[in-house]
Structure 1
Amino acid sequence: MKLLRSLYLGNRFFLASGVIAACFIATFILGGYIVVPKVLFFIAGALVLTDLLLLYRTQKGMQGHRFTPEKLSNGDDNELRIYLENFYAFVVSVRVIDEIPHQFQRRDVSFYLQVQPGDNKTIRYYLRPVKRGEYSFGAVNVFVSSPLGLLLRRFTFSANKTVPVYPSYIQMRKYELLAISNRLTETGIKKIRRIGHNLEFELIKEYVSGDDFRTINWKATARKERLMVNHFQDERSQQVYSLIDKGRVMRMPFDGMSLLDYAINASLVISNIAIKRSDKAGILTFQDKVGTLVPASRTSNQMGRILEVLYNQKTAYRETDFSIVHNYIRRKITQRSLLLLYTNFESMYSLQRQLPYLQGLARLHLLVVIFFENTEMKNLIEQPAGDLREVYHKAIAEKFTLEKKQIVKELKKHGIQAVLTTPQQLTVATINKYLELKARGLI
């Protein structure tokens, strides 16, 4: 039974069977030459037995393993590898089918290759999850055929493995490395000119584009024969909280991911950047009630705590209650902090309902409201109208787009910082705003 479960018929087997059947039918109609299909039948039978012997004579003819990360990064391309090693004494043709988790809704993860005797191959492919949670992988099915190609033998490896999908730690590491090497400008992070700076001197460094020319150290410049500038320390140990709205306004999908997951990924990155710049990072989630609070800190295990909290966020996408958040923050966060509020407003009316609570937060803390452009509306506006219906659609889309810009002006009028960005540029826009506020000495 074990042999039968692993044995499959190849395309050449069906092709040979069809030819032999056609020969029998032809000799029945035409008469005579019955010996020809009989000879072909016995030859085919002998070849099938030979192929069976070739495939099953070696007990472990093919070994393999799927290498998956301990956790997958949400919204990023994660590399997976399948390792195969051929223990047969001949070249084998291999078809590999990987049973990936149902969340990907893909049934095309298959590969064709040939493996020389005693050789090994590594297959690399990428998966992009768009939701957090546990993903269950099935088996790696490897169908092996000999040079005869009449039969296939199936091998299975790495069955039933569960891998969690965490917020985008790949993005977090990317921006961390760029920040360490001072290459953030390569990803769109702006070089902010300082309006003022702390008087605490740190070091003298070579001038780079964007540095304040007023900080040039002329004595060091004369010694080094190139422009050198004084570098001053930023204010440190400031509290930076990411406030994540888990209400229904964050359910809207873009490129397969919800706005909530974009906000979670950006919160992870900005928390790491803040800690690297000696500030304290914290998290607060809410919808109709306050969910989770991670007090701001810069201890060694703070990023691990933030990562676990963001991974475990669940929501029913209920109506957001900003009054509860306002009262909670007044009680729990007593030190003046930078509050990065990730939410979404689609109309001026929705803003006016929450504006009194936002103003209350802005009086106690430095509040930055971060909300999203509707990229589908933007695409609709850019497309030429073909008929009267499309003209109306474009007019409505432009109305919504204009209202988003008016929301930004309304927030600024009440002394509230605002960032309007596309979901794809959320992380870069958030980091730019944080660096701008640090450079202006507002936190």
Structure 2
Amino acid sequence: MMGIALAVGLFALIQWIAHASGWNRFQLQLIDIPSRMWGGFAAAAGLAILVLLVFATVGNSLTMVAWMLVALNLLVVFIAAFDLVSLPRAKHFTAERDTSRIASLLKKQKVVLTITYKGPLSVHLTAKDDVPQQFQAVPEQFEMDLEPRSRTTVHYEMEPTHRGSFRMDTVYLQVDSRLRFWKKIIKLPVHVAISVYPDMKQLAEYALLARTNRLSLVGVRRTRKVGQDHDFERLRDYTRDDNYKHIDWRSTARRRKLTVREFQTSQSQRIIFMIDCGRMMTNEADGISLLDHAFNAMLMMGFVALRQGDSVGAILFSDRVHKYVPPKSGASQMNHLLHASYDQFPDLVESRYDEAFMHLRTNCRKRSLVVLITNVIDEVNSHQVEQYLTTLVGRHLPLGVLLRDERLFDAADNDRMYGSDLFRAAAAAEILTWRHHVLTDLSHKGVLALDVFAEDLTANLVNQYLEIKARHLL
């Protein structure tokens, strides 16, 4: 009996240590675990045993003490066994998960969990979903009381921080026994595959703002539309920003409302994105990598270009060409761009610009707007970018997009110009001056250059595209 009591006390002590150390209770493989209450009860029983042993050593009857020990152990075992039987079985529970199987990077997504309980007794439990480590869930778990033969629904939001394919296979339940002496871990299989794409919700926001002439809210400037009388597209209501020369006076008199003629820009042009997926794009800005910002900007500009009737394609490369999307027009082309980019991640390798531009020359011979999005931090890298972009001048219209590093600008703008900060600011200023010379050289050699922070890339790239269309540069 003494051995049983000591074993129970030792197991309770281990459970207390498990709770105190913050183990994830939902990942334990045990079926039934003593709760904190059971640990306290067992500890009290062990203390009572020690008191009885002390009582026996002072000359009392050992027979009486032995019977008291037997009774106490039997009471502990009986209560524990009775409470253990009250634990519900796994077959009494079912779970369902309702969520979209397509998610956008850094955009919250709603998840609905439905738990059905078919047992005969009320039960208290804690539920936790199998959220991937690359997601942030709020809240992470739920505590609830379920009545017999009932169903409950809980809601939470998860936010993916990485692109790619993920699986959610299990809903974990931690069920308490009737007297809360025992806990049971139940795993309910609920399989869902989720694909996390670059930010797609920005496309719907752009379309909505475009219909309501509010694109300035996302940083897109209004560009003067160009075209001749034979490029007439449609009539629409006059707005304050319209040129009064485009007012159609006959339609205005007929409708008794100012009406302007809208002209269409040139159609069926080609845009090729060249996205660097090498080590230069591994830095992070605003919580995501530079490559993620590049994909977001590519999709937004591609969406705008497809709406203009242009053809859009992409070349994704690092030390080799990973994906090639031939330039095509039509709404279905967005799906090809999405599927090509959602599972691409920056590699810690040197990018092979020679292979990427050779692939471009082989597969894209018609004049196109070639948009190279990369980052430069040394002369070797910048020399390659300049060399290969300038070779496109005349045959294509090259646009080099160089992403800024906020840390360099912060170091150069530091107000504490003394000690190590002074040397750090001087080094940053030298790098920025060199970077300015690189951009100037590109411009002098006929290459369009865009130097922006990663967070501002999308709006600036769309503005640059609209300006190219308006000036008929392509």
* SS of equivalent to 1:295: strand
Find the aligned partners of 2:137 and 2:263 in 1 and give their Cα distance: 56
Q: Does 1:437 align with 2:468?
A: yes
C-alpha separation in 1, matches of 2:234 and 2:157: 46
The normalised TM-score by structure 2 is 0.78
Mapped partners of 2:390, 2:439: distance in 1: 14
Alignment partner, residue 239 of structure 1? 270
Q: Do structure 1's residue 8 and structure 2's residue 33 form an aligned pair?
A: yes
Offset, 1:40: 7.3
Residue 392 of structure 2 aligns to a residue in which SS? helix
Q: Offset at 1:284? A: 1.9
Is 1:122 matched with 2:154? yes
Map 1:181-260 → 2, pairs under 5 A: 182-194=213-225, 196-199=226-229, 200-221=231-252, 227-255=258-286, 257-260=288-291
Mapped contact 1:55–1:61 kept (Cα < 8 A): no
Contact (CA 8 Å) 1:94, 1:143: kept in 2 or not?
yes
Residue aligning to 1:83? 114
Say which of 66, 80, 87 aligns to 1:55.
87
The answer on whether the counterparts of 2:282 and 2:346 sit within 8 Å (CA) in structure 1 is no
Q: Kindly state the Cα deviation for residue 255 of structure 1 after the two structures are TM-superposed.
A: 4.7
The 5 Å alignment of 1:314-329 reads 317-329=348-360
- After superposition, the Cα gap between the structure-2 partners of 1:30 and 1:308, relative to the gap in structure 1 and judged at 3 Å, is same
Are the counterparts in 2 of residues 361 and 367 from structure 1 also a CA contact under 8 Å? yes
Deviation per CA, 1:253-284: give whole Å up to 9, x if none: 33554323332333233223321222111112
Counterparts in 2 of 1:95 and 1:406: CA distance versus 1, 3 Å: farther
Aligned to 2:265, the other structure's residue is in SS state: coil
Query: What CA distance in whole angstroms lies between the structure 2 residues aligned with 1:122 and 1:241?
Result: 45
What is the one-letter code of the residue matched to 2:141? F
For residues 31-78 of structure 1, the C-alpha deviation after alignment (integer angstroms, 9 at most, x for no partner) is 79979998876665555444334323x663332133454344345444
Residue matched to 1:426: 457
1:419 Cα shift? 1.7
Q: Which runs of 5+ in 2 are unaligned?
A: 1-28
Write the distance in 1 (CA, Å) between the matches of 2:213 and 2:310. Answer: 18
Q: Which whole-Å deviations, capped at 9, do the CAs of 1:347-375 have from their partners, x for residues lacking one?
A: 56643443243122132222211120102
Question: Which runs of no fewer than 5 residues in structure 1 stay unpaired?
Answer: none
Q: Could you tell me which amino acid in structure 2 is paired with residue 92 of structure 1?
A: V
Larger C-alpha radius of gyration, 1 or 2? Answer: 2
- Counterpart Cα distance in 2 of 1:156 and 1:431: 48
CA distance in 1 between partners of 2:258 and 2:378 (Å): 50
Instruction: Give the 3 Å change call, closer, same or farther, for CA 182–310 of structure 1 in structure 2.
Output: same
Q: How does 1:22-421 map to 2 (within 5 A)?
A: 22-29=47-54, 45-56=77-88, 60-88=91-119, 91-101=122-132, 110-117=140-147, 118-132=150-164, 134-146=165-177, 148-158=179-189, 162-179=193-210, 182-194=213-225, 196-199=226-229, 200-221=231-252, 227-255=258-286, 257-299=288-330, 301-311=332-342, 313=344, 317-347=348-378, 350-381=381-412, 384-385=415-416, 388-421=419-452
Aligned to 1:19: 44
Task: Kindly provide the amino acid, as one letter, of the partner of residue 38 in structure 2.
Answer: F
Q: TM-score, normalised by structure 1?
A: 0.83
Separation (CA, whole Å) in 2 of partners of 1:52 and 1:239: 70
Identical residues among aligned pairs (%): 23
CA distance in 2, matches of 1:350, 1:315: 16
Q: CA offsets per residue over residues 147-184 of structure 1, 9 Å max, x none?
A: 63222222212367554444444444444454455543
Over the aligned positions, Cα root-mean-square deviation in angstroms equals 3.6
Q: Secondary structure at the match of 2:180?
A: coil
